[in-house]
Chain A
Amino acid sequence: MNEQEQEAAAEVTQPSGEAIVEMIDLHKWFGEFHVLCGINLTVHKQERIVVCGPSGSGKSTLIRCINRLEEHQRGRIIVDGMELTNNIKKIEKVRAEVGMVFQHFNLFPHLTILDNLTLGPVWVRKTPRKEAEETAMYYLEKVHIAEQARKYPGQLSGGQQQRVAIARSLCMKPKLMLFDEPTSALDPEMIKEVLDVMIELAREGMTMIVVTHEMGFARSVAHRVLFMDFGRIVEGNSPEEFFTNPQHERTQLFLSQILH
Chain B
Amino acid sequence: MQETACNPEADTLKPPVINVGVIGWVRANLFNGWFNSALTLVTLYFLWKVVPPMVRWLFLDAVWTAGSEACRAADGACWSVIKENIRFILFGFFPYNLQWRPLIAMFILFGLLYYSQDRTHWHKGLGYAWILGLFTMGLLMRGGIFGLESVESGKWGGLPLTLMLSVFGLTAAYPLGVILALGRQSTMPGVRWLCIVYIEAVRGVPLISLLFMSAIIFPLFLPEGVSVNKILRAQAAIILFTAAYIAEVVRGGLQGMNRGQYEAADSLGLNYYQTMRLVILPQALKIVIPPTVSILISAFKDTSLVVIIALYDVLKTTKSVISDPEWLGFSREAYLFVALLYFLGCFSMSNYSRRLERELNRD
What is the CA–CA distance of A69 and B260 in the complex, to the nearest angstrom?
11
Binds A, one of B171-179, B189-197, B202-210, B277-285: B277-285
Chain B residues with Cβ below 8 Å from A107 are 264
Contact A106 B268 (CB under 8 A): no
The answer to whether the Cβ of A52 comes within 8 Å of any Cβ in the partner chain is: no
Which residues of chain B are near A100, meaning CB under 8 Å?
Answer: 263-264, 267
**In the bound complex, what is the Cα–Cα distance between A50 and B155 (angstroms)?**
76
Please determine whether A172 and B283 come into contact, CB atoms closer than 8 angstroms: no
Q: Which residues of A contact B264 (CB under 8 A)?
A: 100, 102, 106-108
With A and B bound together, what is the CA distance between A69 and B259 in angstroms?
11
Known: A106-B261, A123-B278. A98 touches B267 (CB 8 A): yes
Residue among B268, B274, B279, B282 with the highest chain A CB neighbour number at 10 A: B268
A190–B349 CA distance with the chains assembled, in angstroms:
45
Q: Mark B253-292, 1 if CB is under 8 A from A, else 0.
A: 0000010110111111111001000110011001000000
| B344 to A: closest C-beta gap in Å | 32
Cα(A109)–Cα(B268), bound, Å: 16
Task: Judge whether B286 and A172 touch: CB under 8 Å.
Answer: no
Whether A43 sits at the interface, judged by CB under 8 Å, is no
CB distance from B267 to the nearest CB of A (A): 4
Contact assessment for B260 and A123 in the assembled complex, using a CB-CB cutoff below 8 Å: no
Interface secondary structure of B, over-half rule: helix
Please determine whether A110 and B260 come into contact, CB atoms closer than 8 angstroms.
no
A168 to B268, CA, bound (A): 9
Q: Is the CB–CB distance between A110 and B286 below 8 Å?
A: yes
Q: How far is the CA of A38 from the CA of B278 in the complex (A)?
A: 38
Q: With the chains together, A152 CA to B283 CA distance in Å?
A: 14
Contact B260 A104, beta carbon cutoff 8 Å: yes
Tell yes or no: A203 within 8 A of B by CB.
no
Q: How far is the CA of A68 from the CA of B262 in the complex (A)?
A: 13
Residues on the B chain within 8 Å of A92, using CB: 269-271
* Residues from chain A with Cβ under 8 Å of B269 in the complex: 92-93, 95-96, 120, 124, 172
Hey, which chain A residues are within 8 Å of B69, CB to CB? none
**Interface residue B363 (Cβ < 8 Å from any Cβ of A):** yes
Is A58 close to B, CB under 8 A? no
Known pairs A109-B283, A110-B282, A110-B283; A123 contacts B266 (CB<8 A)? no
- A207 is an interface residue with CB less than 8 A from chain B: no
Contact B266 A69 (CB under 8 A): yes
For B279, the chain A residues whose CB sits under 8 A away are: 108, 119
Asked whether, in the complex, the Cβ of A110 is within 8 Å of the Cβ of B266, the reply is no
Interface 1/0 per residue, A100-133 and B, CB below 8 Å: 1010101111100000000110011000000000
Asked if A158 is at the interface (CB within 8 A of a chain B CB), the reply is: no
Query: Once bound together, how far apart are the Cα atoms of A133 and B279, in whole Å?
Result: 19
A67 interfacial by beta-carbon distance below 8 Å: yes
Assess whether A95 is in contact with B266, with CB atoms less than 8 Å apart.
yes
Instruction: State how many angstroms separate the Cβ of A248 from the closest Cβ of chain B.
Output: 32
Assess whether B268 is in contact with A152, with CB atoms less than 8 Å apart. no
Residues of B contacting A96 with CB < 8 Å?
Answer: 268-269
Partner of B267, one of A67, A93, A123, A152: A67
| Residue ID in chain B nearest A94 by CB atoms | B269
Query: Is A108's CB under 8 angstroms from B266's CB?
Result: no
Q: Does A99 contact B (CB under 8 A)?
A: yes
Please measure, in the bound complex, the distance between the C-alpha atom of A99 and the C-alpha atom of B267, giving whole angstroms. 7
How far is A120 from B275 in the complex, measured between Cα atoms in Å?
Answer: 10
CA distance A119 to B266 in the complex (A): 12
Interface residues of A (CB under 8 A from B): 67-69, 88, 92-93, 95-96, 98-100, 102, 104, 106-110, 119-120, 123-124, 152, 168-169, 172
Extra inter-chain contacts (9) besides given A106-B264, A107-B264, CB under 8 Å: A95-B266, A95-B267, A98-B267, A108-B279, A110-B282, A110-B283, A119-B279, A123-B270, A123-B274
Interface CB pairs A-B, < 8 A, 21: A67-B266, A68-B266, A92-B270, A93-B269, A95-B267, A98-B267, A99-B267, A100-B264, A102-B267, A106-B263, A108-B261, A108-B264, A108-B265, A108-B279, A108-B283, A110-B282, A110-B360, A119-B279, A120-B270, A123-B274, A172-B268
